[in-house]
A and B are shown apart, each in its own frame.
Chain A
Amino acid sequence: MLKSTHKPIGGSQQLAEGWTEHKAPTGHLYYYNAATKQSTYTRPAAPVDAPTPIAPIGPSQSFLQYQSVGPGFPQGEDRGSRGGFQGNRGGRPGNDRPRPQPTDRPKSRHLIPGFEPWVLVHTKLGRRFVFHTEKQQSYWRIPDKLKDGILQLDQQRIKEKTEALQKTNEPVSTGEAPGAAERPEVHNPDGDDSSEYEEVEVTDDEDDENPTKRQKTFEIPDEPIEYNEDDIAFQLATMGEEYGLDPGEYDDGNMENWEEGAAGLELTEEDAVALFRDLLNDAAINPFSPWEKLVEEGKLVDDTRYTALTSMKARKETWDEWSREKMKAMRYMRAKEEKKDPRIPYLSFLQQNANPKLYWPEFRRKFKKEAVMRDTSMTDKDREKYYREHIKRLALPSSTLKTDLLALLKDQPLSKLNRSSNMDSLPPAVLGDIRFISMDPSTRDGYVEAFITTLNPAPEIVEAEDSEEIIRMKKEKERRQKALNDREAFVREEKRKQQRDLQHGKGVLRYQELELERAMQVNKKGLKGQLVGEGADVMDTG
C-alpha cells in the first residue's frame, strides 16, 4: 500500500494533501496521490499561506491513522523482527485503503460579530471551526481573541432559536425566516448548497477530500462552547474500544486521563501476559498457525483479555512464547504416548508393509532388520498374532471395516477424542487398535475427520492427581480475570463520565441548534410554497 508514514512536520516544504513521496527505481523522487491515482515528478507543495490546513476531517479518518500503528507497520519499535513485507500487506494500491468514511463538509457559516473577516463554520457532522476569509486559513481550535465574538454569536443564535421555536408553534404560513433581517450571517440549514461549500473551502482542491491527518498538539480549551479536540478524542476512544484497542494504541495525547485509574489497578504486566495466554488457551488456537493469521482474522479482538496487553508487540511476543511452549508440549505428549504403546508403530508399519501374499515367516524374514520388528517391549508372538489378524481383516468387506472403525472411535472418551482432535492427535487407544489400520489411510482419514467434526468440544479438565497445583492455577486465573473485569468496569465508568461531561458542556446548545434546524426546514418549505404560488401567478398572467 502506498501509504506513507511520513507525517508533515510543517514549514513551507510540506507536501500537498493526499500526496506521498516515493523513490523511483532510478533514484528520482516522485509523488503519488492514492486517492486520484496520479503520480508526478513535480513536488505538489501545499500552499505556503496555509501552513496548518486544518481541514474538516472525519474523526474516524484520523482514527485510521492511529490504527495503522498495528502489526507490521514500519513505525519504529512496532516493527516486528520479520522480513521486509510487514509494512505492505496487500500490496496493491487500493487493497487496504481505508473503508469509505462519512466525509464531513461545511454546512453553515456565520460571520463572527466584531471580528468580521472571521467566520464560524458548522460542519455536517456537527463540528465547528473558524475560517479567516481573507487569509484563507481555518482552525479547529478557536483563537482566544475570537471567543468573545463567538460567545456573542452563540447567545444570539440561542435567542433566535428560542424565537424560532415559538414561531413554529404557530401555523407556518408566512415563510419569513425568523429574525432574518437582523442576522449578520448567512445560514444554510440543509447543508447541500455546494456554492457555499466552495466559499468555505479550506485550501486547495485536494484538501477537502484528503484532509490532513492532523496531529493533536492543542491544549484542550476549557470553554464548553465548541466541538473540538475533546470530542474528537472521545470519538477516537469510542471507536478504539470498538476495535479492541487500548488507549495507548490510538491516542497518546490522552494517556494521563486513563493512566490515573486504568493503570492504578492490580493488573501487573505478568497478569496481562497471563490473561492473554488464557485467552489463547480458551480460544483453542492452533499454536502452529502464523501470527498474521490471528491478527487478520481478528477473532480474539472482541475478548477483553486481548486488550490486557497494550501493544501489538507485546501480544506478538506473548504469542511466540505461548505457541513455542504449546507446540513443544504437544510433541512431547505424542512422543510419550507412542513410546508407551509399542503396538502403535508396529501397526502403522503393518499397514504400510503387510501383504496378503506373504505368510508371517516370510514377512518376518523380509523386515527382520526394521526397528519395529526388533522392539523388545513387544513379543514376536504378539507380532505374529497382529499380522495374521490384520491380513484376515483385509479380506473383509469395506462396509464392515467402516463399521468397526466407527465403533472404535465411538468408544473413545470425549477427553481423549473431541472436536479439537486432528489426525496427528488421535488417542493411543485408537492408533494401537487393529481396527484402525484395516482401511486404506486415504479413505479412513476422511471418515475419522468427518467423525471428529460431529464431536463436542473437549470437556473441562477435571482435577486429577496434582490437583493442588491445578486448583492454585485456577484460582490465579480467576483472580486475573477479576482484576481485568474490574479494570474494564472502571474504564467504562470513566468513559461514561467523560461522555456526561461532554454532553453537559455542549448538550443544551446542540439540542437547541437541532431545534433551530428543524424550524428553518419548515420555514424553507413555507418559503418554497410561496414561491411556487408566485410562479403559478406568473403562469396565469402570462
Chain B
Amino acid sequence: MPAIRHASKRKPPPAGFSDIEDDLLIFSNKMKDAENAPSTNVPRHQVHWPIFQISHQRSRYVYELYYEKEAISKQLYDYLLKNGYADAMLIAKWKKTGYEKLCCLRCVQTKETNFNSTCVCRVPKAQLKEDQAVECVSCGCRGCASSD
C-alpha cells in the first residue's frame, strides 16, 4: 500500500502528479475498502480477487498514461513505480509479446498451480470449447490471452 498523500517532509512528487493525484486516491480508497471488506460468505480462494483486480486496474492506469497515451513524464512514471502506485513486475510482463493483457503474475507462475501449467485464463478463447466459462482461481480472471 503506497502512502496516499506524499508526506510533507519528503521530496515533492514530480510535476504532473497533481493531475492524477485524485484518481490515485480513488484507487487507494478502493484498495482499502477491498482489504477491509468482510470475507465471510466469500469462498476462500476468492477473498483476494478484488485486491488483485484493483491492483491490476491501477497498474494498467499508470501503464497506459505512460506508454500508450504518453501523458506523464518518465520522472513521474518512475516515481509512481517506486512508490507502489503500479506493479513494475506486471508492467514488465505487459511489454512482452503474448503477455499484453496478463491479469496477474500468479497466473503465469507454473509452480503454484495444481498441474504445473499456467492458469486456465491464459488459454485463448479460440482454443476453448464454445461457451465454456473461464474464471481463474487465483485472481478471478476471465481470460487474458493476447488474442482474446
Residues of A within 8 A of B (CB): 2, 4-6, 20-23, 25-26, 37, 74, 79, 81-95, 286-290, 292-293, 320, 323-324, 327-328, 330-331, 422-424, 440-443
CB distance from B141 to the nearest CB of A (A): 4
CB within 8 Å for A23 and B133 given contacts A288-B23, A327-B71: yes
The complex places the Cα of A84 from the Cα of B102 at a distance, in Å, of 7
The complex places the Cα of A402 from the Cα of B109 at a distance, in Å, of 56
Known: A286-B19, A443-B8. 12 other contacts (CB 8 A): A6-B133, A22-B135, A25-B120, A83-B144, A85-B57, A88-B49, A88-B53, A91-B46, A92-B37, A328-B70, A424-B18, A442-B12
Chain B residue with minimal CB distance to A9? B131
CB distance from B131 to the nearest CB of A (A): 5
Q: Is B65 located at the chain interface by the 8 A CB criterion?
A: yes
The complex places the Cα of A441 from the Cα of B134 at a distance, in Å, of 51
Residues of B within 8 A of A (CB): 8-9, 12, 15-20, 22-23, 26, 34, 37, 41-42, 46, 49-50, 53, 56-57, 60-61, 65, 69-71, 101-103, 113-114, 120-121, 131-137, 139-144, 148
Whether B60 lies near A286 (C-beta < 8 A) is: no
Whether B50 lies near A327 (C-beta < 8 A) is: no
CB distance from B1 to the nearest CB of A (A): 18
Chain B residue with minimal CB distance to A94? B41
The 8 sampled A-B contact pairs (Cβ below 8 Å) are: A21-B133, A23-B133, A84-B144, A84-B148, A88-B142, A92-B49, A323-B71, A441-B12
The complex places the Cα of A20 from the Cα of B134 at a distance, in Å, of 11
Give the residue among B50, B65, B134, B135 with the most A Cβ atoms within 10 A.
B135
The complex places the Cα of A423 from the Cα of B60 at a distance, in Å, of 25
CB distance from A318 to the nearest CB of B (A): 14
CB < 8 Å: which of B57, B131, B141 contacts A290? B57
Whether A25 lies near B133 (C-beta < 8 A) is: no
Please classify the interface of chain A as helix (H, G, I), strand (E, B), loop, or mixed, using the class held by over half of its residues: loop
Chain A residue with minimal CB distance to B27? A290
The complex places the Cα of A290 from the Cα of B68 at a distance, in Å, of 13
CB distance from B117 to the nearest CB of A (A): 11
Whether A288 lies near B19 (C-beta < 8 A) is: yes
The complex places the Cα of A31 from the Cα of B7 at a distance, in Å, of 49
The complex places the Cα of A289 from the Cα of B50 at a distance, in Å, of 20
CB within 8 Å for A91 and B140 given contacts A25-B120, A82-B60, A292-B57: yes
Determine the chain B residues whose CB is within 8 A of the CB of A331 once the complex forms.
Answer: 71
Whether A324 lies near B69 (C-beta < 8 A) is: yes
Whether A89 lies near B120 (C-beta < 8 A) is: no
CB < 8 Å: which of A85, A93, A95, A327 contacts B56? A85
Chain B residue with minimal CB distance to A424? B18
Determine the chain B residues whose CB is within 8 A of the CB of A6 once the complex forms.
Answer: 131, 133
CB within 8 Å for A20 and B133 given contacts A82-B60, A289-B23, A442-B8: yes
The complex places the Cα of A74 from the Cα of B101 at a distance, in Å, of 14
Determine the chain B residues whose CB is within 8 A of the CB of A26 once the complex forms.
Answer: 114
Whether B57 lies near A288 (C-beta < 8 A) is: no
CB within 8 Å for A85 and B23 given contacts A21-B133, A23-B133: no
